[in-house]
């Protein structure tokens, strides 16, 4: 159940941001996290010099899937932003 507009004004900025799960800004934030975290782990593994084929292959698959998921989330945020403007 979504709070009415007068209740929304009394909420803190953080609470207003997360009040609606389909807020395009929330979707963008989640997409950025989904995209950057696996890539950061992959870079860290490369810097540490880990040469295990299993770990490198697994991370490659995880980064590919995370990139696809973040692309879908960015697209959903884009569509929600423009459909809510009407």
- The C-alpha atoms of residue 37 and residue 30 are separated, in whole angstroms, by 11
- DSSP 3-state of 79: helix
Residue 70 has pLDDT above 80, yes or no: yes
Q: Please state, in angstroms and rounded to a whole number, the distance separating the CA atoms of residues 68 and 5.
A: 35
Long-range contacts, 37-44 (Cβ 8 Å, 24+): 37/66, 38/62, 38/63, 38/66, 39/63, 39/66
**Greatest mean pLDDT among 14-18, 45-49, 77-81:** 45-49
Of 68, 33, 38, 80, nearest to 56 (Cα)? 38
Instruction: Please state the rounded mean pLDDT for residues 7-35.
Output: 77
Q: What is the mean pLDDT of residues 55-76?
A: 95
């Amino acid at each position: 159940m979504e709070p009415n507009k007068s209740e929304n004004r009394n909420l803190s900025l953080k609470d207003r941001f997360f009040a609606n799960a389909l807020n395009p800004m929330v979707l963008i934030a989640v997409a950025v996290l989904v995209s950057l975290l696996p890539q950061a782990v992959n870079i860290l593994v490369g810097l540490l010099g880990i040469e295990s084929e299993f770990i490198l292959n697994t991370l490659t698959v995880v980064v590919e899937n995370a990139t696809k998921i973040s692309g879908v989330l960015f697209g959903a945020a884009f569509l929600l932003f423009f459909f809510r403007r009407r």
